[in-house]
Amino acid sequence: MNRALSIRSRKKDDHAKEASKHTFSISTLRGMHQAELSKKLFKLIKTENHCIEAYETAGRERLSIASQLSDWGEATNDDAVSDISDKIGVIMSEIGEQEDLFAQNLEDYRSILKQIRNIEASVQPSRDQKVKISDEIQKLKYKEPSSPKLVTLEQELVRAEAQNLVAEAQLTNITRQKVKEAYDLHFAATIERAEKQIILAKYGRRLLNLLDDTPVVPGDVRQPFAQAGEARQVLADAEQELQRWEPHLEPIHSNAGGLGTNLMPMDDRSTRATSEVPDPVADPVPTEKPAAEAQGTHLEQATA
């Protein structure tokens, strides 16, 4: 593995200047009180929040642009430009809605990362306790080698080590399971947004072909726009294709089905794909989302 050429090493020089600068706030400072173990993920979860906000902004601005485009088209007093710009506005609104849905899905992915962060934070005291007892033993051995307290401490250390072994097993079990779940969801959301926006953009291009841009000479009157019916049909087709959309993902296979509530393996292990898990957080297919909200509201209203 060429670690020197991985993203890890490049960050030191490349990303230093790209690192986003956010103002300090109470919630930023709070990060400093995080357990050492969960600090990195804590920061990542915070950065992901900024990323999600950017997609929400993009979606909102897209909706605003769509309605401004339609308004502008109307003001041109050109029937053809008016109709086509209005319908492109519908397509653009829907593209904006898909950005927003994507942001919602990223929020779900983010909450899975939080589960790993929480386990990390809870495992930290177990590590600290082990180190603390070891340190005490070392000090006492040096200062007072025959102290009867040493026996008690050695017994405590054995217990702390056993407790930590459990904690570390829980940590690795949950980490691997949740990393797979989180990025399963993330990549599924990326694909969903992409596939739906391709559908929309494709029909947007068809609308453009209905606008005749043959130049006219001064005094010429443009032919009345005769493609209104066709344009309406394009939107109806777009809506139908968007409604018919469903995910076709290569499943992510998981063996974490054998993980008990105690975060230890259960006896009955079974292989399954996380994509099929009915757990709403793990499910990368947002079937729970109201269909009207997720798919084609703008198209539906425009073609009703």
Q: Which is nearer to its own copies, 48 or 156 (CB)?
A: 48
Q: Which is nearer to its own copies, 72 or 292 (CB)?
A: 72
- Measuring CA to CA, how many Å separate 16 from each of 99, 165, 206? 28, 37, 44
Rounded to the nearest angstrom, the gap between the alpha carbon of residue 27 and the centroid of all alpha carbons in its chain is 21
Q: Which is nearer to its own copies, 253 or 289 (CB)?
A: 253
Q: Is the distance from CB of 272 to CB of 177 less than 8 angstroms?
A: no
Q: Which is nearer to its own copies, 144 or 276 (CB)?
A: 276
Across 9-22, b (16+ Cβ under 10 Å) vs e yields eeeeeeeeeeeeee
Minimum CB separation of residue 4 from its own copies in Å reads 10
Minimum CB separation of residue 142 from its own copies in Å reads 30
Q: Which is nearer to its own copies, 138 or 208 (CB)?
A: 208
In 3D space, the residue among 158, 161, 177 whose CA is nearest the CA of residue 119 turns out to be 177
Minimum CB separation of residue 288 from its own copies in Å reads 21
User: Biggest alpha carbon distance in the chain?
Assistant: 111
Minimum CB separation of residue 158 from its own copies in Å reads 13
Q: Is the distance from CB of 265 to CB of 64 less than 8 angstroms?
A: no
Minimum CB separation of residue 141 from its own copies in Å reads 26
